[in-house]
Amino acid sequence: MNRRLLGKSLALALVAGTTMLGAACAGDEPETPSGPVTITVNGMPPATDAVNRKNFEDDIKAFEAKYPNIKIDAKEGFMDPQQFATKLAGGQLEDVFYVYLTDPAALIAKRQVQDISAQLADFPSIKDVKPDLMKVFTGGDGKVYGVPVANYSLGLVYNRTLFTKAGLDPASPPKTWEEVREAAKKITALGNGVVGYGDYSKNNTGGWHFTAEMYSIGGDVAAKDGDTWKAAFNNDKGKQVLQQLKDMRWTDNTMGQRQLLEWADLLQMMASGKLGMYIGSADNFPVIVNQYKAKYEDFGLGGIPGGQGTLGGGDGYMFKAGLSPEKIKAGLTWLSFKGGALDPSRIAADNEKAAAKGQPVGLPQPNIWTGASLAKWEEATKKHANIPSENFGPFLASTATIPLKLEPPLAQQIYAVLDTAMQKVLTDQNADISKLLADAEKQVNTILSTVK
């Protein structure tokens, strides 16, 4: 799981503060700066993260030396959903502020962010950003209100060593759920407590994975009907997802006895060599290797089985409503200097710096690029790679054809409901899948009725 997926979305806070915030921001007049432009930005690492904090502060010094008419007033941290609404209403939000990809739509709709289209035209690399990501920051009026800086999507994390021992080809991970099921049987047959396939069912991770697995077979969890949202999982595809898990758990016995797993559990099992496969993302590997003391050489990442869609997300920056053109230009210049979506030429230097400090270079994400900028990213990644990046080739190849889908609205509340269905099929061999989906549908429709 990507850490961004759980508990960090601003959506709930935004829904709660809609009326007040819209009134506070929509009518603001653009500021008119005099003299050098000072912009407030967030994203500065905490002092406890000494290496990255120093890198950030060094970047500010270098930026201000290069652009003496722009001053950076950096604030620590990224975004706290619990404080976002209060800061926005009180005028305390940074000029350039960090968001998750689940948040721009609501901010744009409520006119809480600034159109940056005119200034963005001066940064030609923006044309190479993946169109799906730019859509997130584009309003219904066709104007652009922010830029992405990183993305991720889910695939199949697998243990290459176990694949080899089980007679499976570690260079060719399963591409369908049927292949996952067969591979899990062979891996489980290794014995010694090895589990073929693992899945979550606790603390919203079960609902999150149910959603990902629905997307993977072309299904959905919520669908918009006019101006309202409705649950979209009580159907044959929803039954297919739960039935496969139930069959693997109780018929094949390839998912182990231990259930009610949450995020860290599967990473620990993978690191210990006791798990063959699970759904995860590239950012799982640094945790598996660094925190749980494993080796990159033992693991691989494939595209999500089914391949009809993959749940993903990421982050970016938006601009506070009412910001002057000069401040918008200064903010874009800062983001360009930091890399992100505006200047891929910094990728090589950043990779070199990361490799020198022992940080992993060669993972397939984050990568927001297409075209010539993608070529720069690939060249810089290959040049400075310090991990076996070929192990993640199957995933990288899949990203060109598998559509990215974002989380549903009020995702965490929906995931909490769907946890129950996942828990039931993994802990009760007599679980009634039709009833589980019907009960969840009623609850999710109640949640979705509050989406404005």
Which pLDDT score, from 0 to 100, does residue 35 have?
A: 61
Q: Which residues contact 266 (CB under 8 A, 6 or more apart)?
A: 198, 199, 200, 275, 278, 280
Which pLDDT score, from 0 to 100, does residue 376 have?
A: 87
Which pLDDT score, from 0 to 100, does residue 13 have?
A: 39
Name which of 285, 281, 288, 132 is nearest 212 in CA terms. Answer: 281
Q: What is the mean pLDDT of the chain?
A: 88
CA triple 282-283-286, angle to 5 deg: 110
Half-sphere exposure of 393 (CA within 13 A, CB side): 8
Q: Which residues contact 40 (CB under 8 A, 6 or more apart)?
A: 73, 74, 75, 94, 95, 96
- 315 pairs with which residues across the strands? 100, 150
**Is a pLDDT exceeding 80 seen at residue 385?**
yes
Interval 4-57: pLDDT, tens: 444 344 443 333 333 333 333 333 434 444 568 999 999 998 888 887 888 899
Interval 337-382: pLDDT, tens: 887 667 788 888 888 888 887 888 889 888 888 888 888 888 888 8
Which pLDDT score, from 0 to 100, does residue 340 have?
A: 65
**Is a pLDDT exceeding 80 seen at residue 85?**
no
Interval 216-265: pLDDT, tens: 999 999 998 888 999 999 999 999 999 999 999 999 999 999 999 999 99
Half-sphere exposure of 138 (CA within 13 A, CB side): 13
* pLDDT band (50, 70, 90) for residue 200: very high
